[in-house]
Amino acid sequence: MSGGSGYEDRGNNDRSVTGTPVDHMGDPVPAGGHAERVEGADAFLIGEAMTGGYGGGADILHDCTIAVNPGEIAVIVGPNGAGKSTAMKAVFGMLNLRKGRVVLDGEDITHLTPQARVQKGMGFVPQTSNIFTSMTVQENLEMGAFTRRDDFRETMEQVYDLFPILREKRDQAAGELSGGQRQQVAVGRALMTKPKVLMLDEPTAGVSPIVMDELFDRIIEVSRTGIPILMVEQNARQALEIADRGYVLVQGANAHTGTGKDLLADPDVRQSFLGG
């Protein structure tokens, strides 16, 4: 594995713990922190060498590359504030890239708006406020299918089959559901577009271990239908276990890249992110 050579001496990469001053935020990673382009260049969805930040602020992503192929689950892990959500938003066109490009199915979509990317078949579940709290579960799903003009009842049945609890609560306001149930609504909403690629930002945030396992099972099920899945996970160990591709981000740059198994086996990664 490449990368990581500059990190051995750091016991904890979470800057909020080590208390690194904030003005170091934009520091580029040491040389050697680049992603290995494992069959990346011709992947189905790829955010390539992305560099950029929010508005006119400092760059948060530095030459960051993430990619995913059909039937695969790609997982991004890393300390808080590493730029995982930012990388997802960059792939979805929610911030301006200063360098790099985003390619979907061979087409350069770097300059498309998020709405246009929805039309192109990308589905995104953001990390926060990812449901319509005042609307019922069913209405949330209907809004997910907003861009579709065909009959989407079949897709809705599939979502209900995937998450049976949602069928039971279909007429309840989504804001009245438990955290785990809300995450299911959020994923279900994104599935309603019949996306060609699904992006999930911490789908298991605030979910109990049992529900988390179940959610992972569901995500694997979705992935088996051929939909490429790109997700950010805080539960790095479980997530890397199911990952075909793993990315460790540190300070907005690729620190380690490899298959989930490789990363789990990598002593570097184990020590810095998985707690030994």
Partner 1 sequence: MDFLNALVALANFVLIPATAYGAQLALGALGVTLIYGILRFSNFAHGDTMAFGTMVVILVTWWLQSLGISLGPLPTALLALPVGIAVTGLLLIGTDKVVYRFYRQQKAKPIIYVIASLGVMFVMNGIVRFIIGVDDQRFADGERFIISARDFREMTGLDEGLAFRTSQGLTIVVAIIAVALLFWFLNRTRTGKSMRAFSDNEDLALLSGINPERVVLITWLIVAALATTAGVLYGLDKSFKPFTYFQLLLPIFASAIVGGLGNPLGAILGGFVIAYSEVAVTYAFRKVVGYLLPESLEPEGLLQLLSTDYKFAVSFGILLIVLLFRPTGIMKGKSV
- The region that residue 180 occupies, defined by phi over 0 for left and psi between -120 and 50 for alpha, beta otherwise, is alpha
Which of 154/217 has CB closer to partner 1?
A: 154
Binding to partner 1 by residue 132, rule CB under 8 A?
A: yes
Which positions touch ligand ATP (CB under 6 A)? 25, 54, 57, 60, 78, 80-86, 127
Q: Does 130 bind partner 1 (CB under 8 A)?
A: yes
Residue of 106, 112, 44, 57 whose CA lies nearest to 83: 57
Q: Which stretch binds partner 1 (CB under 8 A): 2-10, 133-141, 200-208, 216-224?
A: 133-141
Q: How far is the CB of 121 from ligand ATP (least distance, A)?
A: 24
Least distance from C-beta 55 to partner 1, angstroms? 11
Give, as one character, the DSSP assignment of residue 105.
T
| Pair of tokens at residue 275 | 């707690």
- Counting contacts by CB under 5 A, is residue 127 touching Mg ion? yes
Four-point Cα dihedral 229, 234, 238, 242, nearest 10: 10
- CA neighbours closer than 13 Å in the CB half-sphere of residue 232: 22
Closest C-alpha among 231, 243, 242, 238 to residue 273: 238
Judged by CB under 8 A, the residue of 15, 62, 169, 189 near partner 1 is: 189
For 270: left if phi > 0, alpha if psi spans -120 to 50, otherwise beta; the answer is alpha
Q: How far is the CB of 250 from ligand ATP (least distance, A)?
A: 10
- Closest Cα to residue 152, out of 140, 168, 134? 140
CB of 200 to Mg ion, least distance (A): 11
Residue holding tokens 């570097």? 268
> CB of 80: closest distance to ligand ATP in angstroms?
4
Contact in structure between 226 and 220 (CB atoms under 8 Å): no
Considering the complex, state which of residue 58 and residue 265 has its C-beta at the smaller distance from ligand ATP: 58
Q: Does the footprint of Mg ion cover residue 158 (CB under 5 A)?
A: no
Residues 94-123 that bind partner 1 (CB under 8 A): 114-115, 118-119
Of the pair 216, 247, the CB lying nearest ligand ATP is at 247
Indicate which of ligand ATP, Mg ion, partner 1, none lies near residue 229 (CB less than 5 to 8 Å, by partner kind): none
133 binds, among partner 1, ligand ATP, Mg ion, none (CB under 5 to 8 A by kind): partner 1
What 3-state class would DSSP assign to 231?
A: strand
Q: For residue 75, give the amino acid letter.
A: V
By CB under 5 A, residue 85 contacts Mg ion: yes
Q: Which chain residues interact with Mg ion by CB under 5 A?
A: 85, 127
